[in-house]
């Protein structure tokens, strides 16, 4: 079956559905328009979840219930599940677990360019990275095969440019069946078994390395002394720059199975090269491996990359930059097309402002009026979470001074409030951040009698997303997720909930919260226009 104009994300979804994935969690909005096809595969359990720790814990449980799991997380959420992921690798799983991690070179929609590859490799977990939507579809089966053969979770790393890439793909109906060799059902973390299990894990990685070295996803294309080593979607960009006669212009080692590294194939490429160029984004992950292989095999050749300054050290690697790099690396190189910075960057959207017509514009203006009424040296200190709360740091407001990780605003504000006695500290969060660490921080702030104000912008995103997924996949209605009920479990001195019909009360309520001592919480309810 052929599908036209499929994005990289959608291709991974199709791969999950065709390989009997039973539990899907994380950012699941991509499944909405595939609900009809998904229903044909037996209604996989879809769970919108923005807490990486909860996602991996539930996936481990599903694995032991003989159900395949696929998690789709951004790199910040992935950081939350590193420790349980390591334990899952150490103590073995049953049915396959795939974690799709979306890195964001260029930080288009993230506060950081964090690289998930180094974190994953440090946990001794296999890493795959598709170069195209078709390979994304195919690589799901390979990931499950590795996961279930060696009883390990597998990470598929993708980037922003892969997500938005579109092409036609072949949807193959052949699925990978779950194996029957269930590991030991005892899964207990204790010092007595840690060393034994680590030795087993190291032995598994040695066996996986030989498999990865021979996999179809790692291939050498073309011949010549000028060698390029490239991974993931950068390969598709490279081919577009070089053109259809790519095999005649240079030799390329395409790596889509990154870890354990395909040492033999890398060594084979280095032995036939006069110089090597490594193209990658974020950290120098592959470049470091290439240099290590060269050193351990006494191969002395120049390796161009990020360390040498030939490849940009930060940001997304665009086709116009690849064109410039190749013109220096390959004598007489001529590009197959014309690539311009503006043309490539305009398809990337930075989420820099509130949406047009958003009521938070007027609400933020009223909050600013209250704060400006205080003397300069007594004006409140604002801490924000990423997303809508961080817009209070933009002009003309310029109030939020710190934006860290999702769900961190309340904790940071509590830390400042403990030592700042002359100014009120205000944490601004939203419903996504509140359910992703904010709630536990609020409970702790109550226990500590924190002297802060917590302003929660309840956009109804979490509630609506869960309702939409439940309706699309036949799971039925779900109970209302009530932030106002949850905050009552904390020790709060003052709290108010402002409905959409009560926005005229924002100034009065916020002023009282600021003037009050102790922990105050104000919830402003607004159904975001993007999801209403």
State the CATH number of the domain containing residue 196: 3.40.50.970
Residues 226 and 373 in one domain: no
Residue 430 placed within a domain: yes
- What is residue 353's predicted lDDT score, i.e. its pLDDT? 66
Measured between alpha carbons, how far is residue 326 from residues 218, 281, 294, 323, 333 in Å? 22, 16, 22, 5, 7
Backbone angles phi, psi at 98, to 5 degrees: -115, 130
> Are 318 and 451 contained in the same domain?
no
Please name which of 344, 400, 277 lies closest in space to residue 105, comparing C-alpha atoms: 344
Domain end position, chosen among 194, 214, 234 = 214
Do 52 and 156 reside in the same domain of the chain?
yes
Question: Is 223 within the bounds of a domain?
Answer: yes
Regarding whether 176 and 59 lie in a shared domain, the answer is yes
Query: How many structural domains does the chain have?
Result: 3
CATH number of the domain where residue 311 is located: 3.40.50.920
The domain in which residue 245 lies consists of 218-345
Is residue 385 included in any domain, yes or no? yes
Do 384 and 428 touch, CB atoms closer than 8 A?
yes
Q: What is the pLDDT of residues 41-57, one digit of tens each?
A: 555 777 777 778 888 88
Residue ranges of the chain with pLDDT lower than 70?
Answer: 28-43, 174-175, 178-192, 246-248, 346-354, 356-357, 466-480, 529-532
**To 5 degrees, how large is the angle CA 469–CA 70–CA 186?**
120
Whether residue 15 is found in the same domain as residue 60: yes
Q: Do 87 and 81 touch, CB atoms closer than 8 A? A: no
Q: Are residues 233 and 310 in the same domain?
A: yes
pLDDT at 179: 62
- Cα separation, 449 vs 332, whole angstroms: 69
Residue 479: the pLDDT is 65
pLDDT (tens digit, 9 = 90+) per residue, 174-192?
A: 667 766 566 555 566 666 6
**Bridge partners (DSSP) listed for residue 484:** none
Both 397 and 260 in one domain: the answer is no
Beta-carbon contacts of 443 under 8 Å, excluding residues fewer than 6 positions away, are 489, 490
| 114-142 per-position pLDDT tens digit | 899 999 999 999 999 999 999 999 999 99
- What's the mean per-residue pLDDT of the chain? 84
417 and 492 belong to one structural domain: yes
Q: How far apart are CA 530 and CA 532, in angstroms?
A: 6
* Helix H or strand E segment including 23: strand 21-26
Q: Given 199, 214, 229, which residue is the final one in a domain?
A: 214
Mind giving me the DSSP string for 158-227?
A: EEHHHHH-EEEEE-----PPPPS----S-----HHHHHHHHHHHHHHHHHHHHHHHH-TTEEEES-SSEE
For residues 55 and 40, the answer to whether their CB atoms sit within 8 Å is: no
Whether 355 maps to a domain, the answer reads no
Output the pLDDT for position 159: 92
């Amino acid at each position: 079956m052929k599908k036209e104009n499929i994005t990289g994300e959608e291709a991974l979804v199709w791969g999950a559905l065709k390989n009997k994935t039973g539990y899907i969690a994380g950012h699941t909005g991509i499944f909405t328009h595939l609900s009809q096809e998904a229903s044909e595969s037996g209604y996989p359990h879809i769970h919108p979840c923005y807490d990486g720790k909860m996602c991996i814990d539930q996936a481990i449980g599903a694995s032991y219930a003989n159900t395949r799991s696929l998690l789709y997380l951004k790199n910040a959420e992935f950081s939350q599940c590193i420790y349980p992921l390591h334990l899952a690798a150490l103590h073995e799983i049953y049915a396959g677990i795939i974690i799709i991690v979306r890195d964001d070179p260029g930080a288009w929609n993230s506060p950081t360019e964090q690289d998930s590859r180094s974190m994953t490799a440090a946990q001794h977990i296999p890493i795959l990275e598709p170069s195209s939507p078709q390979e994304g579809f195919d690589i799901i089966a390979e990931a499950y095969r590795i996961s279930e053969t060696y009883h390990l979770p597998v990470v598929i790393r993708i980037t922003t440019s892969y997500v938005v890439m579109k092409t036609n793909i072949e949807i193959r109906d052949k699925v990978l069946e779950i194996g029957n060799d269930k590991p030991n059902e005892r899964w207990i973390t204790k010092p007595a078994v840690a060393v034994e299990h680590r030795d087993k894990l190291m032995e598994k990685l040695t066996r996986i390395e030989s498999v990865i070295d021979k996999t179809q996803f790692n291939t050498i294309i073309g011949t010549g002394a000028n060698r390029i080593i490239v991974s993931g979607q950068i390969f598709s960009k490279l081919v577009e720059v070089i053109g259809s006669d790519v095999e005649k212009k240079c030799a390329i080692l395409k790596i889509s199975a990154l870890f354990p590294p395909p040492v033999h194939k890398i060594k084979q490429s280095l032995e036939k090269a006069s110089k090597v160029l490594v193209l990658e984004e974020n950290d120098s992950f592959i470049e470091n491996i290439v240099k290590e292989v060269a050193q351990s095999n006494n191969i002395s050749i120049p390796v161009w990359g990020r360390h040498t300054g030939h490849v940009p050290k930060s940001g997304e690697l665009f086709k116009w930059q690849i064109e410039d790099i190749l013109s220096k690396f390959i004598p007489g190189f001529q590009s197959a097309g014309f690539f311009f910075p503006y043309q490539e960057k305009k398809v990337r959207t930075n989420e820099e402002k509130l949406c047009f017509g958003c009521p938070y514009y007027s609400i933020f203006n009223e909050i600013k009026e209250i704060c400006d009424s205080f003397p300069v040296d007594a004006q409140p200190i604002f801490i924000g979470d990423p997303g809508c709360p961080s817009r209070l740091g933009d002009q003309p407001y310029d109030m939020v001074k710190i934006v860290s990780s999702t769900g961190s605003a309340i904790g940071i504000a509590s830390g400042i409030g403990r030592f700042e006695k002359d100014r009120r500290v205000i944490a601004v969060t939203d419903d996504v951040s509140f359910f992703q660490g904010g709630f536990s921080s609020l409970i702790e702030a109550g226990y500590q009698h924190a002297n802060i104000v917590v302003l929660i912008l309840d956009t109804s995103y979490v509630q609506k997303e869960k309702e939409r997924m439940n309706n699309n996949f036949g799971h039925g209605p779900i109970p209302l997720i009530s932030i106002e009920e949850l905050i009552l479990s904390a020790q709060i001195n003052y709290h108010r909930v402002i409905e959409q019909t009560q926005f005229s009360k924002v100034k009065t309520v916020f002023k009282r919260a600021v003037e009050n001592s102790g922990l105050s919480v104000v919830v402003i309810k607004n159904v975001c226009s993007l999801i209403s």
